[in-house]
């Protein structure tokens, strides 16, 4: 009888032990799975948090509540711009010596008392069409235009609304390179135009070109020789006007040009609709014009993530940082940061 009871007890204990071990293993698996899941979610949240804090490409002056608000963003951009201009007014800062706006980057909406300045290759197709369609009275528009051009830049003082259209400076550089220096294939003839230079070489030209040219001129001067060279790639006037800064071209922070409206190409459609109502007093549907695509090399916009990564991954971080320093005023005045582009650079 005792042996029988002992056997029952042993079998029972064995079953309990087996059940306990299975439960323990199962719970451990569940806990491990939960732990891995939580770590994955935490990692995703951490990456998402970092992306939203450090790697935003759009302006810090943009307002989301929760969606993009054009009217509030335009107000905040104006406030941010004025704050930076006030900082630049310090006579001990080099930025205090601002230039007058350049006439070839200014478009007139004279029937509405407005002019718009933008860098070359920044929404020009849309702006030209809108400028032409904004004309209400051709004779009055022509008269005002002639007066404006004759007395420029002093005539800027008589314009009621000053507006500027910008895009992220480091994104704009890609667009210029693709249009002017990259290998191109004619869609109709299929004829291939070879690349004029690589993207890293182009960035070196943009950043170091003026410095190297100055050193060469100084060496020539020491030898009593003058330099007769085409300066169009570095003087901001020839081909290099395509990548001249907004600061230089539009005369930002100059007394003659004080933009009430700052439009971003990234949010052009929403921004210009506000301008269309506020300044032009028009409820006209302008969606057809706003949806016009600007010329881009290839089928992809220079603002797409994979395009940006493709080009900036060819550069070292220090080269991207140097490019940012060249266009630092453009970044600061419009709330842009270089972080989004720096992350693609090589160490």
7 within domain boundaries = no
Burial of residue 119 (CB within 10 Å: 0-12, 13-18, 19+) is: buried
CA dist., res. 251 & res. 73, Å (int): 22
Prediction pTM value? 0.77
pLDDT value, residue 324: 98
What is the number of other CB atoms lying within 10 angstroms of the CB of residue 15? 10
Distance CA 195, CA 188 (A): 19
Q: Is residue 8 part of a domain?
A: no
Place of tokens 């994979």: 306
Q: Which pLDDT score, from 0 to 100, does residue 243 have?
A: 95
> Is 42 within the bounds of a domain?
no
Pull the structure tokens for residue 164.
């500027």
Answer whether residue 100 is part of any domain: yes
User: What is the C-alpha separation between 114 and 163, in angstroms, rounded?
Assistant: 7
In a domain, 12, yes or no: no
Q: 166 near 268, Cβ under 8 Å?
A: no
- Cβ distance 120 to 287 under 8 Å? no
Cα dihedral value 16, 19, 21, 22, nearest 10: 180
Which secondary structure element, helix H or strand E, spans residue 185, and what is its range? strand 184-185
Residue 239, in any domain of the structure: yes
Instruction: Kindly state whether residue 268 falls inside one of the protein's structural domains.
Output: yes
Domain that holds residue 270: 52-342
Can the peptide bond before residue 66 be classed as cis, meaning omega within 30 degrees of 0? yes
Question: In whole angstroms, what is the distance from residue 95 CA to residue 185 CA?
Answer: 41
Number of neighbouring beta carbons within 10 Å of residue 237: 12
Q: Which residue is it, tokens 């005539």? A: 155
- Contact criterion met (CB below 8 Å) for 81 and 333: yes
Tokens of 206: 């943009």
Domains held by the chain: number: 1
Per-residue pLDDT of the chain (347 residues; tens, 9 = 90+): 444 445 444 444 454 445 444 543 444 443 344 344 434 333 433 333 333 333 468 899 999 988 999 999 999 999 999 999 999 999 999 999 889 999 999 998 888 889 999 987 666 677 777 777 666 667 767 888 888 999 999 999 999 999 999 999 999 999 999 999 999 877 788 888 889 999 999 999 999 998 888 887 788 778 777 766 667 888 888 899 999 999 999 999 999 999 999 999 989 889 988 988 888 776 666 666 666 665 544 445 777 889 999 999 999 999 999 999 999 999 999 999 999 999 999 99
**Residue 198, number of CB atoms within 10 A of its CB:** 13
């Amino acid at each position: 009888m005792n042996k029988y009871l002992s056997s029952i007890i042993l079998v029972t204990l064995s079953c309990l032990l087996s059940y306990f071990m299975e439960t323990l293993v199962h719970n451990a698996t569940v806990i491990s799975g939960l732990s891995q899941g939580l770590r994955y979610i935490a990692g995703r949240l951490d990456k998402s948090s970092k992306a939203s804090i450090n790697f935003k490409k759009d302006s810090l002056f943009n307002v989301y509540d929760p969606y993009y608000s054009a009217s509030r963003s335009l107000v905040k951009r104006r406030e941010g711009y004025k704050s930076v201009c006030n900082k630049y007014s310090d006579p001990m800062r080099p930025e205090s010596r601002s230039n007058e706006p350049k006439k070839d980057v200014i478009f007139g909406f004279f029937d509405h008392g407005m002019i718009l300045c933008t860098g070359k290759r920044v929404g020009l197709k849309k702006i030209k069409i809108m400028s032409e369609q904004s004309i209400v009275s051709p004779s009055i528009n022509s008269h005002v235009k002639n007066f404006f051009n004759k007395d420029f830049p002093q005539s800027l003082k008589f314009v009621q609304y000053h507006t500027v259209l910008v895009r992220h400076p480091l994104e704009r550089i890609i667009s210029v390179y693709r249009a002017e220096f990259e290998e191109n294939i004619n869609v109709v003839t299929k004829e291939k135009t070879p690349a004029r230079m690589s993207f890293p070489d182009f960035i070196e030209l943009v950043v170091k070109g003026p410095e190297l040219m100055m050193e060469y001129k100084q060496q020539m001067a020491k030898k009593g020789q003058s330099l007769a060279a085409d300066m169009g790639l570095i003087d901001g006037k020839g081909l290099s006007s395509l990548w001249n800064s907004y600061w230089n071209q539009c005369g930002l922070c100059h007394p003659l040009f004080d933009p009430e409206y700052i439009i971003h190409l990234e949010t052009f459609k929403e921004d210009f609709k506000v301008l269309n109502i506020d300044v032009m007093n028009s409820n006209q549907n302008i969606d057809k014009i706003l949806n016009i695509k600007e010329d881009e090399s290839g089928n992809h916009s220079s603002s797409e993530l994979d395009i940006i990564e493709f080009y900036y991954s060819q550069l070292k971080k220090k080269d991207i940082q140097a490019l940012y320093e060249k266009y630092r005023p453009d970044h600061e005045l419009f709330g842009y940061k270089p972080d989004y582009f720096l992350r693609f650079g090589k160490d």
